[in-house]
């Protein structure tokens, strides 16, 4: 019951927002998001005290087809639920900063609507419920990215994004339908088939069937993450969307893909995974190097972060597909760390853009003098992204590289370049924007206000928490990742 409340509460708040205006709408949206975070913490406490069984929610959804509305929270889900509920208030606060948005109430409502979709994806334990929420998450982000963007090519960019992701997910749906047709009836059900996650895990399909099923299901995840060469929608969409939408896309939505691989791909078609493992590894590593090299050449801060995100995601995919316990664990920590880092980086880029009206590194420079707080926040986020020890990024990337190295030493070596590359392009960005020769904005720029600083505080706390005590989260996800590997290894 708690899980269902957790998933649907933001939606209810979004509907209520229809009746609120101005400051009341802000208060309602933020209040709902904070309450949602409290509920997530409560769910975490419940989980630690009494295990996942107490968070199971199972309702007959379409009895004649054997489809149940099955939600549940285990360690892996919990990590992502916490990430989502922490980031959404920060994203809403970012949206509050943008006074120029038309019809802001609708914007906040869509962010909360999106949260329902995301939480549904992270807690679904039935294939069609998973697919349902997967698409539910797409509708609000399409409008967030398109309707509030001021870029002239926004229609083409968001259209491309929508079409790419929906085509990917239709392939996944086709795969799920095929799997569903292979299942037997669930215990105590009148329907001939079942779409429960466990029923999918219990299927033992032939290797040749799994080989093509793998691509049907992986298509959706590959586009969402995105993995090279399915990434072409990503840089433009990240760059031209309004800042809060970019944060949702990069901070949370991207994790849907990796989470999907862990929960709905590896254990469902293990033989397919082992057949295509090497190809995916190669694509992931190409993505790492490719994203990094392009990032080095960027002038637009948002675009630079977008390509850096592409590079970092490549490493996460490589870690997942190494099929090593340490790689999977690293992916979990890095999902959290990357979520925090990338939202922090976009927050910085947005703060600078709001003050100066530009994101071009060529126009910026010498900003540190008037903005000590912003510089510090920027630096912390940047160093965590570069994976400096003591930060969350370090733990995640170290574990991931360890996993990739165990898979293949050469792959590990090439993937390790990610750390060097990201140091190159991120420090270059910091140097061009904050240090260096003075620019037109050096004297007029204002530092972070107290309220803005407050948005960075939870992010910075999380960066160090993940860096110093990763055990909190590793401990949560360990049973799940080892269970996944048992299913894969069988």
Number of H helices, E strands in the chain: 19, 2
180 binds other proteins (CB under 8 A): yes
Residue 387 in tokens: 């994976």
15 binds other proteins (CB under 8 A): no
444 binds other proteins (CB under 8 A): no
Given CA atoms 383, 386, 392, 395 in this order, what sign does their dihedral have? negative
d(CA 368, CA 305): 20
146 binds other proteins (CB under 8 A): yes
d(CA 177, CA 169): 12
| Span 330-389, contacts to other proteins by CB under 8 A | none
- Least distance between other proteins and beta carbon 409 (Å): 41
165 binds other proteins (CB under 8 A): no
Q: Which of 139, 211, 424, 427 binds other proteins (CB under 8 A)?
A: 139
5 binds other proteins (CB under 8 A): no
- Least distance between other proteins and beta carbon 188 (Å): 16
Window contacting other proteins (CB under 8 A); options: 36-44, 86-94, 159-167, 445-453 = 159-167
d(CA 433, CA 345): 13
Which runs of E-coded beta strand occur in 295-354?
Answer: none
Nearer to other proteins, 135 or 406 (CB): 135
d(CA 6, CA 112): 12
Asked if residues 121 and 130 have their Cβ atoms less than 8 Å apart, the reply is yes
Q: At what angle do helices 325-356 and 75-97 cross, to 10 degrees?
A: 0
Nearer to other proteins, 60 or 449 (CB): 60
162 binds other proteins (CB under 8 A): yes
DSSP letters of 155-201? HHHHHHHHHHHHHHHHHHHHHHHHHHHH--PPTT--SS---BHHHHH
Nearer to other proteins, 160 or 354 (CB): 160
Give the total of residues touching other proteins (CB under 8 A).
33
d(CA 7, CA 194): 23
Q: Which of 41, 58, 135, 354 binds other proteins (CB under 8 A)?
A: 135
Nearer to other proteins, 155 or 362 (CB): 155
Nearer to other proteins, 11 or 292 (CB): 11
In this structure, what are the phi and psi dihedrals at residue 67, rounded to the nearest 5 degrees?
-100, 125
- What is the phi-psi region of residue 445: left when phi exceeds 0, alpha when psi lies from -120 to 50, beta otherwise? beta
154 binds other proteins (CB under 8 A): yes
173 binds other proteins (CB under 8 A): yes
Q: Which of 24, 38, 155, 454 binds other proteins (CB under 8 A)?
A: 155
Q: Identify the CA nearest to 61 among candidates 174, 171, 191.
A: 191
181 binds other proteins (CB under 8 A): yes
How many Cβ atoms sit within 10 Å of the Cβ of residue 424? 16
205 binds other proteins (CB under 8 A): no
Q: Which of 24, 38, 48, 163 binds other proteins (CB under 8 A)?
A: 163
Window contacting other proteins (CB under 8 A); options: 41-49, 142-150, 242-250, 254-262 = 142-150
- Least distance between other proteins and beta carbon 193 (Å): 8
Nearer to other proteins, 164 or 430 (CB): 164
Q: Which of 16, 30, 61, 373 binds other proteins (CB under 8 A)?
A: 61
Q: Which of 30, 170, 388, 417 binds other proteins (CB under 8 A)?
A: 170
**Whole-number Cα distances in Å, 9 to 2, 145, 161, 169:** 10, 23, 28, 25
Enclosing H/E stretch for 463: helix 450-468
Asked if residues 45 and 476 have their Cβ atoms less than 8 Å apart, the reply is no
Please, which residues have CB within 8 angstroms of residue 90's CB and are 6 or more apart in sequence?
247, 343, 347, 455, 458, 459
Asked if residues 73 and 52 have their Cβ atoms less than 8 Å apart, the reply is yes
Window contacting other proteins (CB under 8 A); options: 63-71, 301-309, 326-334, 335-343 = 63-71
174 binds other proteins (CB under 8 A): yes
Taking residues 95 to 134 in sequence order and writing x for each that binds other proteins by CB under 8 A, - otherwise, the string is: -------x-------------------------x--xx-x
Q: Which of 35, 147, 293, 325 binds other proteins (CB under 8 A)?
A: 147
465 binds other proteins (CB under 8 A): no
Asked if residues 357 and 324 have their Cβ atoms less than 8 Å apart, the reply is no
The residue ranges that bind other proteins (CB under 8 A) are 60-65, 102, 128, 131-132, 134-136, 139, 143, 146-147, 154-155, 158-159, 162-163, 166-167, 170-171, 173-174, 177-178, 180-181
């Amino acid at each position: 019951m708690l899980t269902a409340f957790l998933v649907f509460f933001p939606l209810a708040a979004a509907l209520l927002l229809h009746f609120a205006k101005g400051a009341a709408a802000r208060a309602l949206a933020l209040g709902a998001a904070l309450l949602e975070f409290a509920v997530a913490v409560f769910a975490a406490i419940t989980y630690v005290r009494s295990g996942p069984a107490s968070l199971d929610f199972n309702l007959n959804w379409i009895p004649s087809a054997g489809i149940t509305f099955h939600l549940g929270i285990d360690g892996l889900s919990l990590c992502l639920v916490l990430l989502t509920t922490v980031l959404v208030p920060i994203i809403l606060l970012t949206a509050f900063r943008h006074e120029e948005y038309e019809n802001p109430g609708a914007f906040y409502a869509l962010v909360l609507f999106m949260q329902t979709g995301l939480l549904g994806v992270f807690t679904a334990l039935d294939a069609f419920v998973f697919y349902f929420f997967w698409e539910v998450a797409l509708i609000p982000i399409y409008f967030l990215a398109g309707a509030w963007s001021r870029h002239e090519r926004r229609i083409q960019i968001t259209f491309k994004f929508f079409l790419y992701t929906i085509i990917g997910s239709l392939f996944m749906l086709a795969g799920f339908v095929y799997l569903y047709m292979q299942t037997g009836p669930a215990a105590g059900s009148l329907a001939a088939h079942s779409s429960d996650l466990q029923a999918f895990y219990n299927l033992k399909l032939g290797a040749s069937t799994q080989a093509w099923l793998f691509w049907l299901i992986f298509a959706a995840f590959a586009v969402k993450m995105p993995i090279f060469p399915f990434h072409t929608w990503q840089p433009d969409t990240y760059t031209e969307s309004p800042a809060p939408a970019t944060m949702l896309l990069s901070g949370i939505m991207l994790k849907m893909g990796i989470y999907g691989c862990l929960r709905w791909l590896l254990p469902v078609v293990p033989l397919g995974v082992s057949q295509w493992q090497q190809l995916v590894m190669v694509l992931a590593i190409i993505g790492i190097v490719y994203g990094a090299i392009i990032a080095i050449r960027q002038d637009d801060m948002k675009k630079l972060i977008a390509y850096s995100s592409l590079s970092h995601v490549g490493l996460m995919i490589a870690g997942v597909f190494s099929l090593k316990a340490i790689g999977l664990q690293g992916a979990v920590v890095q999902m959290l760390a990357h979520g925090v880092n990338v939202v922090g980086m976009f927050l910085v880029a947005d703060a600078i853009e709001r003050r100066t009206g530009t994101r071009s590194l060529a126009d910026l420079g010498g900003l540190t003098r008037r903005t000590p707080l912003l510089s510090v926040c920027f630096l912390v986020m940047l160093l965590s992204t570069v994976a400096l020890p003591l930060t969350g990024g370090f733990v995640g990337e170290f574990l991931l590289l360890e996993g990739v190295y165990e898979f293949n030493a050469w792959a590990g070596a090439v993937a390790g370049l990610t750390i060097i590359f990201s140091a190159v392009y991120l420090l270059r960005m910091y140097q061009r924007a904050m240090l260096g020769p003075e620019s037109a904005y050096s004297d007029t720029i204002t530092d972070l206000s107290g309220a803005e600083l407050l948005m960075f505080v939870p992010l910075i706390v999380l960066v160090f928490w993940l860096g110093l005590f990763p055990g909190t989260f590793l401990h949560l996800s360990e049973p799940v990742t080892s269970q996944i590997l048992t299913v894969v290894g069988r």
